[in-house]
Structure 1
Amino acid sequence: MDLFAFLLDPTTYAALVTLIAMEVVLGIDNLVFISILSNKLPPEQRQRARRIGIGLALVLRLALLSTVAIIVRLTTPLFELFGHGFSWRDLILIAGGLFLVWKATREIHHSVDPTDPKEMMVGGGATTTIGAAIVQILVLDLVFSIDSIITAVGMTTEIGIMVIAVIVAVALMLVAADPLSKFIEANPTVVMLALGFLLMIGMTLIADGMGFHVPKGYIYAAMAFSGLVEGLNMLARRKRRLDAARRAVAEA
């Protein structure tokens, strides 16, 4: 029972709430990526891909927590370049950022020019396979998981608290994945906005790995403001459609 002895300490609940909030916020990046990626699959495979990807992401995060002592040492500098000591964490963040920038740029190109003959279509309109989608979900989750675990270690030393926070955050991701994916699919302009978010997050990861830390509060504030503006645009477009429909009925 010593494993759960921390639950008897009231002070641990503040750390638990904070960690859950942090995991949920960091999960937004993953969720947007998963939604865009799964929507590239045939409709009958999308929900399955999201659930398998998020489920495997949970297993990956719990496995990483079991090696937390090793992950913490990933911050030890390996070499110095341009006055910055690069650690394994930095290299992983840079690699993940480059992957995210490449993926977002590729998806933006496809959105702008969907008839590009270089884009190979699979499954009657899908542009990826379920296996490829799941692998990409896990690759990106590995990057975010390592970063979040290193941050979590600075907040608490209780593995049990980290495990609970990860499970709660992933459960919320499972609940939100389908509605978010359907919303993005139903609103094409949101897709471009979400891809812009992924591009910005990728550049932030690269900057962080290079030693230029950008407070995440700025990133999520910009995302929230952009989302608000897009929401107002959607309401304006809806009103114009309703007005046009009323005029058409009146003229009939």
Structure 2
Amino acid sequence: MDIDFLSKILSIILLDIVLSGDNAVVIALATRKLNPAQRKKAILIGTGGAIGLRIILTVIAVQILAIPFVKIVGGLLLFYIAYDLLRSNGEDSDVKSGGTLLAAVKTIIVADFVMSLDNVLAIAGVADGHTGLAALGLLVSIPIIIFGSQLIIKLMDKFPLLVWIGALLIAYTAGTMVVSDQYGAYLVDWTFPLMSKIIPILFCVLLIAVGLWAKKFQTRNIH
């Protein structure tokens, strides 16, 4: 292996560490209310399904990149996931084991599918058409997502504020995806360059607003 090949491997590993952080947050948020046994099942099943989808995404990465609006739709879906996770983190802790497990698995797979667009495309770019390197990127991402989510879950149990921080991180990622889309970039060009930074922040502000409204609505219904 030459230096160029090794540098690409290190770049892919670094990309996975940085870009898989959001995915670990989603897993942590989606499974934090499950009991330990269900949590492990949800993480293993959800991550397994997510990795399967990543393989498909890697194969068709170039085609996905060329489709207009795909990141805009993905960003909006991701924002809804952030809101739904925030809303469901209410005081009512009654959960149905089967239903909650399936819901957590579904959330993990759907969110990872949406959030992995940038991840997969970045890895495909570094791999430069080398299937083996792209596959290595996928393999590296598995332990990062699984063990990263476990760590985040433990921190969230001790610091509930991290739930909000995690949801805001997802919302910011959603806004970033929107402005990085082909037509999202047109919006930035038509206005001014700072719009690429403002829109993700607006997504966070909107999430705080609807999140607080949801909490108030839940409290009103309880009382």
- Give the TM-score of the pair, scaled to structure 2: 0.72
SS of the equivalent of 1:122 reads coil
How far, CA to CA, are the matches of 1:129 and 1:105 in structure 2? 17
Tell me how many residue pairs correspond in the alignment.
188
Unaligned runs of 5+ in 1: 1-7, 77-86, 220-252
Aligned mate of 1:146, from 104, 117, 126:
117
> In the alignment, is residue 75 of structure 1 matched against residue 52 of structure 2?
no
1:55–1:19 CA distance, 2 compared to 1 (3 A): same
> In the alignment, is residue 37 of structure 1 matched against residue 30 of structure 2?
yes
Q: Name 1:136's counterpart in structure 2.
A: 107
How far, CA to CA, are the matches of 1:179 and 1:152 in structure 2? 25
- Using the TM superposition, name which of 206-215 and 56-65 deviates more: 206-215
Identity of aligned residues (%): 25
Q: State whether residues 30 and 141 of structure 1, in contact with CA within 8 Å, keep that contact through their aligned partners in structure 2.
A: yes
Q: State whether residues 16 and 161 of structure 1, in contact with CA within 8 Å, keep that contact through their aligned partners in structure 2.
A: yes
Unaligned runs of 5+ in 2: 189-194, 202-223
Q: Which has the larger radius of gyration?
A: 1
Instruction: Give the residue type in structure 2 aligned to 1:114.
Output: E
- Using the TM superposition, name which of 19-28 and 52-61 deviates more: 52-61
> In the alignment, is residue 98 of structure 1 matched against residue 70 of structure 2?
no
Q: 1:158 deviation in Å?
A: 0.9
Aligned mate of 1:122, from 95, 111, 115:
95
Q: Name 2:42's counterpart in structure 1.
A: 49
Q: State whether residues 41 and 128 of structure 1, in contact with CA within 8 Å, keep that contact through their aligned partners in structure 2.
A: no
Alignment of 1:1-252 (within 5 A): 8-65=1-58, 67=59, 70-76=60-66, 87-88=67-68, 90-91=69-70, 93-111=71-89, 114=91, 121-123=94-96, 129-155=100-126, 156-209=128-181, 210-211=184-185, 212=188, 214=196
Structure 1 vs Structure 2 CA RMSD = 2.8
How far, CA to CA, are the matches of 1:163 and 1:94 in structure 2? 27
How far, CA to CA, are the matches of 1:169 and 1:42 in structure 2? 25
Q: 1:32 deviation in Å?
A: 0.4
